[in-house]
Amino acid sequence: MEYSKLKLSEEKVFKDPVHRYVHVRDQVIWDLIGTKEFQRLRRIRQLGTTYLTFHGAEHSRFGHSLGVYEIVRRITDDVFKDKPNWNGKDRLLSLCAALLHDLGHGPFSHSFEKVFNLDHEAFTQQIILGNTEVNRVLQKVGRNFPKKVAEVIAKTSENKLVVSLISSQLDADRMDYLLRDAYFTGVSYGHFDIERLLRVMRPHDDQAVFKYSGMHAVEDYIMSRYQMYWQVYFHPVTRSAEVILTKILHRAKVLYVSDYTFRHQPVHFYSLFKNEPALADYLKLDEHIMLYYIEVWQEEDDPILRDLCTRFVNRNLFKYAEFDPAKEFQVHSRLEKLFREVGIDPGYYLVLDSSSDLPYDFYRPGEEGERLPINLLMKNGELRELSRESDIVEAISGKRRTDHKLYFPLDFIKDMTVHGDKKRQIAALLKQF
Ligand code: NI
């Protein structure tokens, strides 16, 4: 029998706190889950440093990836099955893309990608197409199959309907992470009726659309997303931990390049520090390895690396002040100067961080980052863009909200025993004490 059609003799299930069970019948999916590249996702947290703010947020990308797979499985095996516009042949392609969509994430992706100028999506492509266990499983389906899966994840596939299931403004990825992140952080936002959403989903020419009767479930999803961004994803304390992590990696790289002798050699980072990240090295990195270095670098001779690592380990994070870079750019340069005068390196200890989100956007062809709109399927068979029908969605459509904060170690400034006058100036500029 063809490998792509091979079923397990008995269905396997994973107990899942969000979807109750994740069901696996296909041999291909079972084999992919067993690869070492997929198992690596167990060692990468879904929400990076968020566990330092919401202690429940220890869940991994492994669980999320299974969740996205399960949602797509329900769509293909139940909601879309035998519907016009849906080609059953796309089922396995959709399931594999869903399962593997986050495969290239590194440890603490946000900080990691920033410092080393990497892109997890590029690594996802390399893992699917390169010399890996995942690639060998996909090859058994067909010689071109790895490429097809990679194209769906990269959104370059001609099969737009399948792409929209995995990445659009209302896709299985977002549905899973909103519910999962709400569950594990324990917040009361982020919940919406996924049963209802899936029930009203329909395959259309080139995207999944939602029956008009389910509009309120879609609204609920958009509002959860909006609230999760500001209450969880952009939480200032999480960002503070991220800022410190970014500076740790940055400092270690600077030291490595300047021939500093580490007490604990960063062997896992050599190829990254040299700006030649090799796939094999990248796959060896996970959050256990990162936390190991942060732990042992507390003993380094370099005072900056030592201090930043100690802060991270003991959660002695930077404090923050609201900051408007457009109006207060002079404040920033004055602070930098004062920091230098009192012996604190502003490159590591005075950090401007900005977050911004666009909760929902409708399609404006040709514009930068154009997004496919969410379309409602009206009773007469026409499609209507969501914000034309929903007042709630219209109110937040296309509105980008940005939040700027300045991060700094308040304890350093408080503990200063000399430079009394400068200490007061710094405190005033940072609106502290
Ligand atoms: Ni994802």
408 vs 433, residue with greater confidence? 408
Task: Report how far ligand 1's centroid is from the alpha carbon of 67 (Å).
Answer: 9
Task: Report how far ligand 1's centroid is from the alpha carbon of 207 (Å).
Answer: 19
Query: How much of the chain, in percent, has pLDDT values that exceed 90?
Result: 80
Give the model's pLDDT for residue 364.
55
Task: Report how far ligand 1's centroid is from the alpha carbon of 170 (Å).
Answer: 12
Across 49-65, average pLDDT: 97
Q: Quick check: 376 pLDDT over 60?
A: yes
Across 308-314, average pLDDT: 98
Task: Report how far ligand 1's centroid is from the alpha carbon of 152 (Å).
Answer: 14
Burial of 412 (0-12, 13-18, 19+ CB in 10 A): middle
The 10s digit of each residue's pLDDT in 255-272 is 999 999 999 999 999 999
Task: Report how far ligand 1's centroid is from the alpha carbon of 403 (Å).
Answer: 24
C-alpha distances in angstroms, 270 versus 16, 207, 302, 320? 38, 43, 19, 33
User: Is residue 21 within a helix (H) or strand (E), and if so which, with residue range?
Assistant: strand 20-26
Which of 69-73, 123-127, 207-211, 271-275 comes out lowest in average pLDDT? 271-275
Task: Report how far ligand 1's centroid is from the alpha carbon of 372 (Å).
Answer: 18
Task: Report how far ligand 1's centroid is from the alpha carbon of 174 (Å).
Answer: 7
Token pair for residue 24?
């696996």
> 280 in the Ramachandran plot: left (φ > 0), alpha (ψ -120 to 50) or beta?
alpha
Task: Report how far ligand 1's centroid is from the alpha carbon of 368 (Å).
Answer: 23
CATH 1.20.1250.30 assigned to 236-355+403-431? yes
Task: Report how far ligand 1's centroid is from the alpha carbon of 177 (Å).
Answer: 7
C-alpha distances in angstroms, 137 versus 12, 127, 242, 407, 412? 18, 12, 36, 46, 53
Task: Report how far ligand 1's centroid is from the alpha carbon of 286 (Å).
Answer: 17
The 10s digit of each residue's pLDDT in 323-368 is 888 888 888 999 999 999 999 999 999 999 998 877 777 655 555 4
Task: Report how far ligand 1's centroid is from the alpha carbon of 175 (Å).
Answer: 9
Give the model's pLDDT for residue 433.
58
What CA–CA distance (Å, rounded) separates 362 from 372? 7
**What is the value of pTM for the model shown?**
0.94
Task: Report how far ligand 1's centroid is from the alpha carbon of 176 (Å).
Answer: 8
Task: Report how far ligand 1's centroid is from the alpha carbon of 256 (Å).
Answer: 33
Task: Report how far ligand 1's centroid is from the alpha carbon of 390 (Å).
Answer: 27
Give me the residue spans of the domains in the chain. Answer: 3-233, 236-355+403-431
The 10s digit of each residue's pLDDT in 70-94 is 999 999 999 999 998 999 999 999 9
Task: Report how far ligand 1's centroid is from the alpha carbon of 168 (Å).
Answer: 12
Calculate the average pLDDT of the chain. 93
What CA–CA distance (Å, rounded) separates 200 from 406? 44
Give the model's pLDDT for residue 114.
87
Fold held by 3-233: Hypothetical protein af1432 (1.10.3210)
Task: Report how far ligand 1's centroid is from the alpha carbon of 344 (Å).
Answer: 39
Q: Quick check: 110 pLDDT over 90?
A: no
Q: Quick check: 370 pLDDT over 90?
A: no
Task: Report how far ligand 1's centroid is from the alpha carbon of 172 (Å).
Answer: 9
Task: Report how far ligand 1's centroid is from the alpha carbon of 311 (Å).
Answer: 29
pLDDT classification of 109: cutoffs 50, 70, 90: confident
